[in-house]
Homo-oligomer: A and B are copies of this chain.
Amino acid sequence: MAEDRPKRMAIVVSKNTVDMAYPPLILASAGVAMGMEVALFFTFWGMDIIKKGKADKLKLPGMMRLFTGMMKGKMKKAGMAQLSELIKNSKELGVKFYACGATIDVMGIKKEDLIPEVDDILGAASFLEFAQDADITLFI
């Protein structure tokens, strides 16, 4: 790895519950703020996070679903931004948003269903080309 390039982080975002949607966006925001190159690759259930109007309606998983409102209240009280704001802010700071092409094909999602922050629709190989030179790789 060349030492003269910024550190790089590649995160696969595969879940659509509040608890698993925050970590990639918080890590991405912190990463770009530190000068890192960051790409988020949304796949399977994670696609819900980048569908128009869905991010702020996600729930907690399983039986915890009923406590989603309470958890969101605590998050707000602690000064945590909503998911839609985190997406907007991290995009402005340079985080790249990629949607998984295979998921789009399987689930019949249309490009116009996705939020404008999405940079591109990619296959697994394109993600791996970015990830293989990344310093941090995570599957969330």
Among A22-30, A51-59, A111-119, the stretch in contact with B: A22-30
Interface pairs (9), CB distance under 8 Å: A10-B136, A23-B43, A23-B44, A27-B127, A30-B125, A34-B128, A131-B136, A136-B137, A137-B137
Bound-complex Cα distance A114 to B103 (A): 29
Among B78, B102, B125, B136, the residue within 8 A (CB) of A134 is: B136
Report yes or no: A74 in contact with B107, Cβ–Cβ below 8 A: yes
Given A132-B135, A135-B133: A123 in contact with B74 (beta carbons within 8 A): no
Q: Quick one: which of B12, B30, B132 contacts A124, CB cutoff 8 A?
A: B30
Within 8 Å by CB of A30, from B44, B123, B138, lies B123
Interface size class of A (residues with CB under 8 A): 35 or more
Q: With A125-B34, A128-B27 known to touch, is A138 a contact of B138 (CB < 8 Å)?
A: yes
- Shortest C-beta distance, A101 to chain B (Å), equals 10
- Residues of B with C-beta under 8 A to A95: none
